[in-house]
Amino acid sequence: MAAQGAHDFMIGLNAVIVAVVGDEPCVLVVPNSREDPSREGLAALPFGPFEPGRHRTLDMGLRSWVAAQTGLRLGYVEQLYTFGDKGRDPREVQGGSRVISIGYLVLTRPPEPDPASATQWRNWYAFFPWEDWRRGRPVALSERIEPRLRQWIKAAGNRAEERERAERAAVSFGLDGAGWSEDLVLERYELLYEIGLVEEASRDRGKTSDASIGFSGPMALDHRRILATGISRLRGKIKYRPVVFELMPPEFTLLHLQRLVEALSGKRLHKQNFRRLVEREGLVESTGTIETRTGGRPAVRFRFRREILAERSAVGFKLPSVAARRG
């Protein structure tokens, strides 16, 4: 949709479509950005325009073009945020309309692979390797990010600014013994962008990527920021709403459920403590059947206890904090 006049704009819809494939949290991407052909080959989030003549609501527009592009019939959908920074789309820089994108978080179960589809399921930790603590403190954080953060702190113009920078780094990245909050995915990405430690920063400022920390490379446009927003929202939401079951099959073992929560949160959980939490919250009930394909001892199958939604307004997985130990 383009508004006529001195300030033309177009409304687009971006989808952060999440599924857990195996034990890994994945996001659906298209390999070539339709929004930015000059960045061919970069992963991009699915995108489609809002067409008011065809789409009665934004939600209907999203569902319509996602089904057309990916074949997915969407279940759980929630609006994330509106992204409208000036110059975020190269078409605007070249004299085109201002592009305002409305981001959505979509949760689904992974469909059967379609060889004919141009879409791909990518592990979201390929774009945010510093967010995965399941095997301890990420090497990328210790060896690449933390040294650059300390350089940035020392380069402050005065002591007050240095203290402010140190506090931001501690809160976001758990420096100097501070706790690591898995919810702050967006804040961490935006701090790295501000400092110039992600390739999007160099690209957007017209510089070479030598200042980047050399991760997997940028996504198209500001799609890594949109993805960070979606991950932050989902990690926060699993603590007070049972949205993880949108990603689960109808029946599952408790180990399967634990691995899924670990994948989303990026932290390893104590098996017995997790099971006590699930039991205390009343989230699941036994189906009375046994899963034998576990690779170990047979395990009881469970299902989500949907009545919990009517019984309590807030219920979820309240996860312990991760100590910011070195490793």
For 211, the domain range is 128-218
For residue 148, pLDDT over 50 is answered with yes
Q: What's the 3-state SS for the chain?
A: CECCCCCCEEEEEEEEEEEEECCEEEEEEECCCCCCHHHCCCCECCEEECCCCCCCCHHHHHHHHHHHHHCCCCCEEEEEEEECCCCCCHHHHCCCCEEEEEEEEEECCCCCCCCCCCCEEEEHHHCCHHHCCECECCHHHHHHHHHHHHHHHHCCCCHHHHHHHHHHHHHHHCHHHCCECCCCHHHHHHHHHHHCCCHHHHHHCCCCHHHCCCCCCCCCCCHHHHHHHHHHHHHHHCCCCCHHHHHCCCCECHHHHHHHHHHHHCCCCCHHHHHHHHHHHCCEEEEEEEECCCCCCCEEEEEECCCHHHHCCCCCCCCCCECCCCC
Query: At 16, which CATH number?
Result: 3.90.79.10
Say what the pLDDT of residue 326 is.
45
Is residue 155 domain-shared with residue 92, that is, in the same domain? no
pLDDT tens sequence across 227-242: 999 999 999 999 999 9
Spacing of C-alpha 79 from chain mean position: 14
The radius of gyration of the chain from alpha carbons, rounded to an integer in Å, stands at 21
Cα–Cα distance measured from residue 119 to residue 29, given in angstroms and rounded to the nearest whole number: 6
Residue 200 falls inside a structural domain? yes
pLDDT tens sequence across 236-262: 999 999 999 999 999 999 999 999 999
Is residue 118 domain-shared with residue 135, that is, in the same domain? no
Say what the pLDDT of residue 157 is.
92
Is residue 100 domain-shared with residue 23, that is, in the same domain? yes
For residue 145, pLDDT over 50 is answered with yes
Say what the pLDDT of residue 132 is.
96
Give the chain's mean pLDDT.
84
Is residue 296 domain-shared with residue 275, that is, in the same domain? yes
Say what the pLDDT of residue 324 is.
46
Is residue 107 domain-shared with residue 29, that is, in the same domain? yes
Is residue 139 domain-shared with residue 196, that is, in the same domain? yes
Residue 237 falls inside a structural domain? no
What predicted TM-score, i.e. pTM, was given to this entire model? Answer: 0.88
Say what the pLDDT of residue 220 is.
86
Based on the structure, what is the number of domains in the chain?
A: 3
Tokens 């046994």 found at = 290
Is residue 27 domain-shared with residue 104, that is, in the same domain? yes
Residue 58 falls inside a structural domain? yes
Pairing of strands 120-123, 284-291: unpaired
Q: Are 97 and 84 in contact (CB under 8 A)?
A: no
Tokens of 294: 């576990």
Residue 152 falls inside a structural domain? yes
Say what the pLDDT of residue 2 is.
45
Best CA proximity match to 35, nearest among 97, 77, 82: 97
Say what the pLDDT of residue 279 is.
87
Choose the final residue of a domain: 100, 125, 150: 125
Mean pLDDT for the stretch of residues 176-204: 89
Is residue 151 domain-shared with residue 87, that is, in the same domain? no
φ/ψ (deg, to 5) at 180: -100, 120
